[in-house]
Structure formats: structure tokens, C-alpha cells
Chain A
Amino acid sequence: EAQVTQNPRYLITVTGKKLTVTCSQNMNHEYMSWYRQDPGLGLRQIYYSMNVEVTDKGDVPEGYKVSRKEKRNFPLILESPSPNQTSLYFCASGAGGFFSEAFFGQGTRLTVV
């Protein structure tokens, strides 16, 4: 079954404690991206990757890092989480072009206290 898998689904952490949210896709997609969803703002892109070792900033990259060492994985790293990073996070993948965000993961709800 084609899918994008995120882990964990829920996470509560404290300010400053480094964390990683994993994202894996099984469709051999070249394009992957991370979005955050906040009330009244819709989804905003954090980072995207067009292929292995190729990443670039989206609209709201501050406080986040990513890496793309393998095609299937695109982890999101928060080196020093802050309360304003409390949000719902989605990973997406696609073949690229017009339809890069073809599939989304189920989401990770992060709370930073």
C-alpha cells in the first residue's frame, strides 16, 4: 500500500530538548516536503527536498533542520524546540512537478511546554 509514514503521531516535549520527527515513503518519490498546520493559517511549508542530498527552505524554516540521505526518508529536526513550534506537522511526497504533494502522512501533533 502506498503510504507516507510519520513517527511519532503525538509528542509532548520541553523547551530546548532536541527532537526528530521521522518521515518515510514507500513510493520511490523524489520530492518530499514538510508542512505545519496552525489554526487560521492553513498549511505552511517548512522545507522541501527535490532529491537525495537536495533540500531547500520553504516559507517558515526558522528553528528547523532537515536531511535527505536516502530517497525514502526525510526527517524533521528541531534542535532546540520552543513553544511557538507547537503545531500539527505533515510530511508529504510526490513525483514532482505540478503534483509534488501527492500523498500526505497522518500528521504529528507536537506540543512544546
Chain B
Amino acid sequence: DQQVKQNSPSLSVQEGRISILNCDYTNSMFDYFLWYKKYPAEGPTFLISISSIKDKNEDGRFTVFLNKSAKHLSLHIVPSQPGDSAVYFCAARRKGAQKLVFGQGTRLTINP
């Protein structure tokens, strides 16, 4: 039972354009969402998060949008840069729970 789903295993975007990574979830009890970025041979690094009481959070080139009615969140990267090429994981936490539930990951490739 995959409670957090990233349906696109890979995404290719041209440098300078917008990258949009999507994530869907099924558990309405999730109240905090995070995005992690992972380079090969390294551990995931935290990128940006959003609480369920908000619908948008922005940090520089990265913006996360949350649509609770659709149980959908997305990560926008503008403008995309070659260093953004990595695997991106979305994750969700249920209030009071001590674990993150991760999606399968999306491999983003930024082409020059």
C-alpha cells in the first residue's frame, strides 16, 4: 500500500526552464510534507517542506504547492540548473507519528 506516490520515475527539462515534480498521497492524516534531493552515492538532503495548514511555501528557486482537496503536492524549480539533476523524493508525516513515508522518487535531468 503505497501511501505516497511519485508516478513519474523520470523527468527531463531544459536548463533555464521550470521543473515540476509531482507527488500524490492517500492518507488524509498526513499533516507535514517534505522534499528531499539525492545525488548518487550520497544520502538524501532536505530541500523544502510545507505544513498542511499552508498551500504554498517558497525558498529561492524552489516552491512547494499543496492541494489538500486533491491530496497532491508539487515542487517547482525555476529556473532549472544543471546542478538540480538528482533524484527527488517527496515524503509525508502523519501527526504524532515518528516516521516519514516516502514516495518512490523521480529522477530529474537538466539538459544544457
Contacts and interface: CB of A to CB of B under 8 A. Distances in A.
A98 B32 contact: yes
Sort chain B's interface into a size bin: 20 to 34
A1 to B, nearest CB: 14
Contacts, number: 58
Contacts of B102: 35, 42-44
A24 to B, nearest CB: 14
B49 interface: yes
A98 B49 contact: yes
A41 interface: yes
Interface in B31-74: 32, 34, 36, 41-46, 49, 51
B93 interface: yes
Interface stretch (A11-19, A62-70, A71-79, A101-109): A101-109
Contacts of B51: 98
Given A40-B104, A99-B49, A90 B43 contact: yes
B108 to A, nearest CB: 15
A3 to B, nearest CB: 10
B97 to A, nearest CB: 10
Nearest to A94: B46
A42 B105 contact: yes
A41 B89 CA distance: 11
Contacts of B49: 98-99
A42 to B, nearest CB: 4
Given A90-B44, A99-B49, A41 B98 contact: no
A42 B41 contact: no
B93 to A, nearest CB: 6
> Shortest 5 CB-CB distances between A and B: which pairs?
A104-B43, A42-B102, A43-B102, A45-B99, A42-B104
